[in-house]
Amino acid sequence: MSENPLPTPGTTSPPVSPPAGVSASPPADGFAEAARLDAADPLAALRRAFVLDDDTVYLDGNSLGALPAAVPGRLAEVIGREWGELRIRSWTESGWWTAPQRIGDRIARLIGAAPGQVVVGDSTSVNVFKALVGAVRLTATADGPRGGVRDQILVDSGTFPTDGYIAGSAARMTGCTLVPVPAADLPSVAGPRTAAVLVNHVDYRTGELHNLPAVTAAAHAAGAPVVADLCHSAGALPVNLDALRVDFAVGCTYKYLNGGPGSPAYLYIRAEHQDRFDSPLPGWNGHRAPFEMTADYRPAPGAVRGRVGTPDILSMLALEAALEVWDGVDLAEVRAKSLALTDYFLARVAALAPEASAVPVTPAEHARRGSQVSLRCTDAAAVMAELIRRGVVGDFREPDVLRFGFTPLYTSFTDTERAARTLATVLRERPR
């Protein structure tokens, strides 16, 4: 459950600012306004880089991104040539062995990190475990035996469930206590007993953008490292890990990075921590000399020590092809379009839908909003099912939250207008 109470149906939602150059109540022909905005969109051409169909408005990229058009051909090459013909030679000749670092550097640019700090592999859950246990071990190394002093792991209480499960296991493993705290309160709660802080950059349910700079600064003032979960922010907004001095970060690649179902996650290890990062999963791929096959584990230098087992090459190279669409993309333009799309959607739903039929739970303030809009309504599951039947694909979260993810690389204002109109129609037609 999110730490911020969700508004109940019938309450007044915060005022919504329209996109730049758009009135709060666009003309009756909203499609003309949407077309004008699409014509002025500097990212509009990128839509052609994805496999989309005209019959569907796809607003579930915050769960699974659309297929980049370059991926099928690249996978065919990997399977037919690199695996089918070169076979084991591809570990060296095709660069398979270094793919986790190479692709990690591609992702690094998208999360504000210098090269050499991101490694790709495993799932987000596995990487949360590695990062969080490693973070706690850093404080033990820095402060000596905790002796009951640094014995708490703080986690935002609205965290994605798996993060909470993993954090609980990490706490038991390291002799700590897990302390769930509302994300807004993490800066004030961090203190001398804090061994590490785990925070989601964007709340998966409400779309709220948490104050990562404030959390990081407060944790560091208390002498504790921060682990940031970027699953719902990387590829949707600038993150600036290096500038914020975040210690560790993890994230999936199948949402806004469009890497495909189950594509490998990534782990960011800040450069200054790499020599002291003690992974709880010391696999052979993270060994200094993996092919010596020694009985003792000697960690590799740099972020490579975050690797564990043999990388999942097919999905990893599909991800690499998917990331090519980001070449030359300005993240400031991505953020500006994200906010404009979500502003537009909120304004149009407010104008078109029956009063109080869909109450925003996503903050109106830009500084507190990710790239999704969550609306609370009764019969949310049935409403979403009907939206999908009519060609508008989002999702919902129990018990009553509709979620709509806006992916700036391929979501258009025309998509957004159609989605708002269809939602309004469904809400008007449902039984009372």
| CATH, domain range 73-326 | 3.40.640.10
Q: Which CATH code for domain 30-43+330-429?
A: 3.90.1150.10
Average of per-residue pLDDT across 333-342:
98
* Residue 12 confidence (pLDDT): 32
Q: Which of 205, 255, 305, 369 is catalytic?
A: 255
Is 266 one of the annotated active-site residues of the chain? no
pLDDT tens digits along 150-195: 999 999 999 999 999 999 999 999 999 999 999 999 999 999 999 9
Average pLDDT of the residues in 331-335? 98
Using a pLDDT cut of 90, give the percent of the chain over it.
90
Does the pLDDT of residue 13 top 60, yes or no? no
Query: Above 70 in pLDDT, residue 148?
Result: no
pLDDT digits (tens, 9 = 90+) for 15-74: 334 444 444 455 557 999 999 999 999 999 999 999 999 999 999 999 999 999 999 999
Q: Is the pLDDT of residue 344 over 60?
A: yes
Report pLDDT for 140.
77
Which residue among 50, 129, 248, 254 is the active-site one?
Answer: 254
Where do the domains of the chain lie?
Answer: 30-43+330-429, 73-326
298 is catalytic: no
**What pLDDT score does 27 carry?**
53
pTM of the predicted model, to two decimals? Answer: 0.92
Neighbours of 28 (CB within 10 A): 8
Backbone angles phi, psi at 35, to 5 degrees: -65, -40
Which helix (H) or strand (E) covers residue 267, if one does? Answer: strand 266-269
Catalytic hit among 60, 203, 229, 312: 229
Annotated catalytic residue within 403, 406, 413, 415 = 403
Identical fold between 30-43+330-429 and 73-326: no
- pLDDT tier at 311 (50, 70, 90 boundaries)? very high
Specify whether 403 is catalytic: yes
User: Where would I find the beta strands (DSSP E) of 350-424?
Assistant: 359-360, 372-376, 392-393, 395-397, 401-405
- Percent of the chain at pLDDT exceeding 70: 91
Which one of the listed residues 50, 129, 160, 256 is annotated catalytic?
160
On the 0-12 / 13-18 / 19+ scale of CB atoms within 10 A, 53 is exposed
What's the mean pLDDT when you consider all of the chain? 93
Q: What is the token pair recorded at 153?
A: 């792991």
Q: What is the pLDDT of residues 376-407, one digit of tens each?
A: 999 999 999 999 999 999 999 999 999 999 99
Whole-angstrom distance, CA of residue 53 vs CA of residue 34: 18
254 catalytically annotated: yes
Which phi-psi region, left, alpha or beta, contains residue 355 (left: φ > 0; alpha: ψ -120 to 50)? beta
Closest CA to 317 of 256, 264, 252, 257: 264
Q: What is the mean pLDDT of residues 99-123?
A: 98
Give me the pLDDT at residue 132, please: 98
- Per-residue buried b or exposed e for 136-167, using 16+ beta carbons within 10 Å of the residue's own CB: bbbbeeeeeebeeebbbbbbbbbbbeebbebb
Residue 160 annotated as catalytic: yes
Query: 22 near 344, Cβ under 8 Å?
Result: yes
Is residue 8 predicted with pLDDT exceeding 90?
A: no
Reported as a pLDDT band with limits 50, 70 and 90, residue 431 is confident
